[in-house]
């Protein structure tokens, strides 16, 4: 696979479509799953991934290389997802208190979801978090992303991210404990 610098060089040499096809091929799946963990619905994740690539395509000329290409794309994907989640929250007929219930029903009716009750409760717990805590929790818990990289993506200090993750983790654990009889 070509490196970020090779892709950028290819793009700037005029082979823009080929370079961008490489970006999609290399980073598309990772970005999709990052988005999907936050929105849960395939169609929403697919739309947000497409929006991410459209935004990235429009901004490739201004990419300075201060961060890696993936970090830059991840930042775009995360911002697109946060905007989507905020807009959805504002226009939803569901209150924040009903969101976990909606997520549970959504997962139970999804023929592609093969998780057990604990997985459903975990997803409900994550859905109950504020959007930014959900992003931090998801990036740390699922992707094991280092705080330094999350800091570059979200533009937040490492200390604030650690506190945010701790609060999110505590909320998720409390939520799960209340709904599942498991010894911790």
Q: What is the pLDDT along the chain (184 residues), one digit of tens a residue?
A: 888 889 988 988 999 999 999 999 999 999 999 999 888 888 999 999 999 999 998 888 888 878 889 889 999 999 999 899 888 777 765 544 466 666 666 666 666 666 667 788 888 888 888 888 999 999 999 889 999 989 988 889 999 999 999 999 999 999 888 887 655 4
Q: Which of 29, 11, 16 is nearest to 65 (CA)?
A: 11
For the stretch 21-30, what's the b/e string if a residue is b when 16 or more beta carbons lie within 10 angstroms of its beta carbon? ebbeebbeee
Q: Do 50 and 92 form a contact (C-beta atoms < 8 A)?
A: no
Q: Is the Cα torsion angle 164, 123, 101, 36 positive or negative in sign?
A: positive
Give the pair of three-digit tokens for residue 119.
């997985």
Structure tokens, 13: 């040499």
The domains found in the chain, sorted by start residue, are: 1-91 (1.10.1740.10), 94-184 (1.10.10.10)
Prediction pTM value? 0.77
């Amino acid at each position: 696979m070509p490196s970020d610098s090779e892709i950028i060089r290819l793009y700037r040499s005029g082979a823009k479509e080929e370079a961008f096809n490489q970006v999609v091929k290399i980073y598309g799946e990772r970005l999709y799953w990052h988005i999907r963990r936050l929105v849960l619905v395939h169609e929403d994740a697919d739309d947000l991934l497409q929006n991410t690539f459209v935004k990235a395509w429009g901004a490739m000329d201004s990419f300075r290389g201060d961060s890696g290409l993936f970090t830059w794309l991840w930042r775009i994907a995360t911002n697109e997802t946060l905007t989507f989640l905020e807009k959805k929250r504002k226009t939803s007929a569901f209150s924040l208190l009903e969101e976990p219930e909606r997520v549970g029903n959504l997962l139970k009716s999804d023929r592609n979801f093969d998780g057990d009750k604990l997985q459903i409760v975990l997803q409900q717990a994550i859905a109950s978090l504020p959007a930014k805590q959900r992003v931090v929790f998801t990036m740390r818990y699922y992707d094991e992303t280092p705080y330094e990289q999350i800091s570059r993506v979200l533009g937040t200090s490492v200390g604030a991210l650690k506190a945010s993750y701790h609060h999110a983790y505590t909320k998720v654990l409390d939520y799960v404990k209340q709904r599942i009889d498991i010894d911790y």
